[in-house]
Copies of this chain bind each other. A is one copy, B any other.
Amino acid sequence: MATHVYIEDIGQYAGQEVTIKGWLHNRRSSGKIHFLTVRDGTGFIQAVLSKSAVGDELFTTADHLSQETSLVVSGVVRADARAPSGYEIDVKYFEVVGKSHDYPITPKEHGVDYLLDRRHLWIRAERQQVILRVRHEIINAVRDFFNTRGFILADTPIFTPAACEGTTTLFPAQYFDEQTAYLTQSGQLYNEANAMALGRVYCFGPTFRAEKSKTRRHLTEFWMVEPEMAYADLNDVMTLAEGLVVSVVARVLDKRRGELKVLERDTSKLEAVQSPFPRISYDDAVKILKEKGLPFEWGGDFGGPDETVLSAQFDRPVMVHRYPSKVKAFYMKPDPDRPEVALGVDVLAPEGYGEIIGGGERLADLDLLLARIEEHKLPKDAFEWYLDLRRYGSVPHGGFGMGIERVVAWICGLEHVRETIPYPRMLNRLYP
């Protein structure tokens, strides 16, 4: 049999005989010719089968090939400007590998619950495949960004010992001997320790939030990248966040334009994502909301609708900094010039996608941190190791977290995060 090649590489084999190993995606016939759309995970190609080329027996077999039958196809690659991939295959021979009867996902419309129940099959659909390919590219772009800038990957633990900030959104797991471990919501506190050891670090793993919200922005299990830098202030954090987002978008535009086309993504909106991003204070953001007629008062945190309005004002991500200290976590550094606001920043994606990044400068002073822990009525004992970072050579430091699924949803232009990960986990979704 001819050399096995992947569809994504087919252009290198024009005029040659090759073998494709894949699945039947679609079939149509015009009497003497079958047109088989074959997919192999790297792409789709049309295989053209004529009775004269393959003989009666094979031609008749092809009459009965059903969707998702696995098959090995050999034939000659022919350039064809009309074909989506630019090439077709003139089939000389094919073989069925595995049958497929009554494949449950047909070209007709299915409801989303029906599809999510069959997510292990739904991912074979072209649209789902290209989303996962863009996800792959985004994750690798993120890692390359940090790896080429001196950051060290330092994995933070999933099992954490104490419910530091209350248990309402934590998933408890049973550890040995009746102990309880909580699944991490963020690697940040550990990241801070790692930054004091390694200078610039990042963690990148699954995080868990037991939020009972059923919105298009929430998963209970999602992936987050969190960089942390020693000797850094809020300004350094904003510069890093901006550089990361610009770099990731540029990479997807460079490498995955074909996928964005399948998704019918308006790429002009992504091309606008260039430095510098607007940097506005929380105060200014509140003014904008009021001007737009939203009933928002200074002091609260933004909800989804507020973020949507704010992000719609700009053609690129906007950085909102200096939120009221009261709505932000205890570890955020208050602005020395104005302690009622914290040196934190959120990055809101454009087109109404809302928050994709949250971070800021951390409180490096031991006494102020102790006071904040008391104010927030947090258990000091659980933070003893974290306080050590302020006892032994504390330095200004900061970082942020970026939720991958929201970035995938934004870059792909999706309505809901549930399509951004192979097996989404939600309030009512733990299967398959």
A residues adjacent to B (C-beta < 8 A) = 4, 6, 8, 21-24, 40-42, 68-70, 97-101, 103, 118, 120-121, 123-124, 128-129, 132-133, 135-136, 139-140, 143, 147, 150, 152-161, 171-176, 179, 181, 183, 190, 193-200, 205-206, 208, 210, 212, 220-221, 223, 230-231, 364, 385-386, 388-396, 421-423, 425, 427-428, 430-432
Q: What would 23 A/B residue contacts be, using CB atoms closer than 8 Å?
A: A8-B150, A23-B196, A41-B197, A70-B393, A97-B396, A98-B364, A98-B390, A99-B393, A118-B385, A120-B386, A136-B152, A140-B153, A156-B422, A157-B221, A159-B425, A159-B430, A161-B430, A171-B175, A172-B174, A176-B427, A190-B422, A193-B432, A205-B206
Set of chain B residues within 8 Å of A150, measured between Cβ atoms: 6, 8, 42
Q: State whether A97 touches B394 (Cβ < 8 A).
A: yes
Q: State whether A393 touches B231 (Cβ < 8 A).
A: no
Set of chain B residues within 8 Å of A199, measured between Cβ atoms: 6, 22, 40-42
The minimal Cβ–Cβ distance linking A13 to chain B, given in whole angstroms, is 15
Q: State whether B153 touches A423 (Cβ < 8 A).
A: no
Q: A150-B6, A427-B176 are in contact. Are A121 and B69 (CB under 8 A)?
A: no
Set of chain B residues within 8 Å of A129, measured between Cβ atoms: 197-198
Q: State whether A100 touches B392 (Cβ < 8 A).
A: yes
**This protein's copies in its complex:** 2
Q: State whether A155 touches B223 (Cβ < 8 A).
A: yes
Q: A132-B198, A172-B173 are in contact. Are A393 and B69 (CB under 8 A)?
A: yes
Q: A123-B194, A206-B158 are in contact. Are A393 and B100 (CB under 8 A)?
A: yes
Set of chain B residues within 8 Å of A394, measured between Cβ atoms: 70, 97-98
Q: State whether B198 touches A393 (Cβ < 8 A).
A: no
Q: Roughly how many angstroms separate A156 CA and B132 CA in the complex, as a whole number?
A: 12
Q: Which 5 pairs, one residue from A and one from B, show the smallest C-beta to C-beta distance?
A: A41-B199, A98-B394, A70-B393, A120-B193, A385-B432
The minimal Cβ–Cβ distance linking A8 to chain B, given in whole angstroms, is 7
Q: State whether B430 touches A124 (Cβ < 8 A).
A: no
Set of chain B residues within 8 Å of A69, measured between Cβ atoms: 393
Given B140, B200, B386, B430, which contacts A175 in the complex, CB threshold below 8 Å?
A: B430
Q: A6-B150, A172-B173 are in contact. Are A391 and B100 (CB under 8 A)?
A: yes
Set of chain B residues within 8 Å of A200, measured between Cβ atoms: 41
Q: Roughly how many angstroms separate A362 CA and B76 CA in the complex, as a whole number?
A: 31
Set of chain B residues within 8 Å of A41, measured between Cβ atoms: 152, 195-200, 230
12 A-B pairs besides A161-B430, A176-B212, A194-B422 with CB distance below 8 A are A23-B196, A40-B230, A98-B395, A100-B393, A118-B385, A120-B190, A120-B385, A123-B194, A157-B221, A159-B430, A193-B432, A206-B206
The minimal Cβ–Cβ distance linking A1 to chain B, given in whole angstroms, is 12
Q: Roughly how many angstroms separate A58 CA and B106 CA in the complex, as a whole number?
A: 77
Q: State whether B196 touches A124 (Cβ < 8 A).
A: yes
Q: State whether A140 touches B147 (Cβ < 8 A).
A: yes
The minimal Cβ–Cβ distance linking A159 to chain B, given in whole angstroms, is 5
Q: State whether A152 touches B132 (Cβ < 8 A).
A: yes
Nearest CB to that of A210 among chain B residues?
B176
Q: Roughly how many angstroms separate A395 CA and B156 CA in the complex, as a whole number?
A: 38
Q: State whether A132 touches B120 (Cβ < 8 A).
A: no
The minimal Cβ–Cβ distance linking A402 to chain B, given in whole angstroms, is 15
Q: Roughly how many angstroms separate A121 CA and B195 CA in the complex, as a whole number?
A: 11
